Structure 1
């Protein structure tokens, strides 16, 4: 059930604040209109009545008391909430005779406004129940009760209300449903769940839909929830994807046997949502032994990307695939945050792009980057990055095959003599061509000058040697052809973006 509100205040900032700051949708409310004084509010009510009015006490032309009196006489079902300053509080209390729902003393907080509006909602429903009990109104009251049961400690009052609505919580599972990304169509999600209802009851909780599945405990070890429940969740997922083209993630709690455990069960279902990144079908079950310490990416993952880069540049694609496998195994075993995993994959994407651009080749399909951002689980991401590796393999191997014999022989000579000083004249003499011709040809085919290519090869070798912490930095500099450690450090930083010391960690 949706409640329509009218905000009345002569201060524009107050009207805008109440309209924009409070998350009205979360408590089933819509701001139907605003007015700057009582007279304007009365005219708007004549055009279209509302359910709840929030009005200031002091306004020009016609104040909040005049408006409250008019509402009591003409629209007695509308609930009025009056905002008042301390100086006017005694004056405001005279409005009690006009059946005002609540008084809020300025300055007010969002929590006060929400609590007051929810109180007015209950009064409206209770009033309607005295006359004609509507099915939607009863559903609303049950929703409110379950939300309280979610957030508050179990009490005799809540137990009495559960009994009043014949709601038995003696054998159940909780499932939390969430659209990724959230697009504000939570009501549509609730409609889908109701349409495919399977021994369950659902309600909205913030930007989630919580469903209670009334089933006995599952006797099987895997899965640890009834097959009927899982199938219902899969059907809901399929319908959401078909109608709204949005991914739906679902978290399911353990089995519970008491209303006292209800808030714990909801917590488990929401906690399970965070594990969905590691679930291939977007349905995750609560794991009591899930990691309690949050895992964040370290220099180790960054180092793995550099190793991956070296393998790709060296055209060692089998080695590159092994490195990728080890990266994703580590991420999965540590339940790394999805945002961190995506950022790492984006880093790998741009590393591959840089390698291709360095050779004058086209970038991989940019759709891959969008796919990384839109992925809902780690398995999708692993497939995307492996697809990127195949693109790099195809492009780089084709490029390598197209090198002329002169360039291939030059690259082989550089690789074999990486420790020694290498000049253009020396290299040209080795491949028996004019130095000027070699310089032009090498740049055209590889995308690098000879000096740049030599430095890149030396830095690649240096990164491999830096993994062995028993070798001193100046010794590594000598092994890759740099006699001056300071110059080596400067060149390394130019190509890697950090000093040898920082790279080694």
Structure 2
């Protein structure tokens, strides 16, 4: 079972997480529940949890500080952060501390379960890597190629980090990498490997591809490591007199061309920058992996490493914020064409400025939350649409995110237009009801009951749409009716007061003077004299 530690300063949240998640069905058990980050940090050594689920804002030690502490002291422990929309940009600072996922408050149990399963998968993958490395090391019958691969995997996974150890081990295995590129091969998951399976030379798809690539690169000094069942990493030495990007691009094109002549398989390649030291194997691998991740933005076969720009670049942040403002203003104005145009410009910024994928997803989730905030407050679809926003983190390319946000823009504008039409109709109904019942006991509660709305919501809605409160509207109608009666009848003041729904004559007189600057008798005298 996976051990879980819950950290939150709100007792209701702690109880909810402890009691309403089917921990046993998830193969998990809660080992400790902490009320703050300090409490949690003191118990980590005792309970050694596999997964820590922590709130972001807490007294003494907040979720960011706790994440940093865990990252430095207990790197194998996985972290899930609970955060509100308003905390989201602050929560992003925890990404560098290896946070597995962020779950927005109010917490969706389905989303939290999804995050827990994600953490479990990462733990199992790490165990698999460790097991694989141990098995490779323990086998007495290893060939030199297997020993080389084991060594490369250890350096890639930072199991071996000491420079002298790397250098000496590489020499003993006759691995010479002094002017090289790392190339990560990623196989598309939908490939049909029927041709490979028919071949007697290979047992699995990825090993078959590995062997084919080795044949293609037989004239190049290279070393290959199998990362998992869909990724290889190739380290290719190039001539120091001919080590340009064009050289490695030509080699990559030759790999693609030659392999595709033999089997029908879709794969892409990510290329690192040129490296000159063998101890940079891990850096080269991570660069190639980052290069291949740009498939998120561009559809092609070969991706060359380019350093992502920091989201701390003030010019980029200013451009993104400006786009956010333009999109939200257009949505508020119901201008779909302008909103979609501004959204397209925002995504061009992400592409052209080479913004990291994680930052692009995080900003897109933030924009999604702002769009949800524009929905009418009584719109139940707010809850229904929250899971749609969570899908942004799972998108495989930028077009999928773009479609989600474009759909949401259209949805918010449509819902707002419907709400405005309904509200205008509702105001007319309320005004008619007041005109017909001004002479009776008329209260906010009775009007709300008539239109089947909550009193406080109705009060806010009426004021926002008309600029005056319901009480002011009722009194204005009553005073207007009183003026008519004063000028068109001989009724006494107390009779007129009663006819417009006010039983207290003194109160009526004061109210009348407040609205007309005259007492009722003076108003009648003044206007009769003018006639």
TM-score (norm 1): 0.43
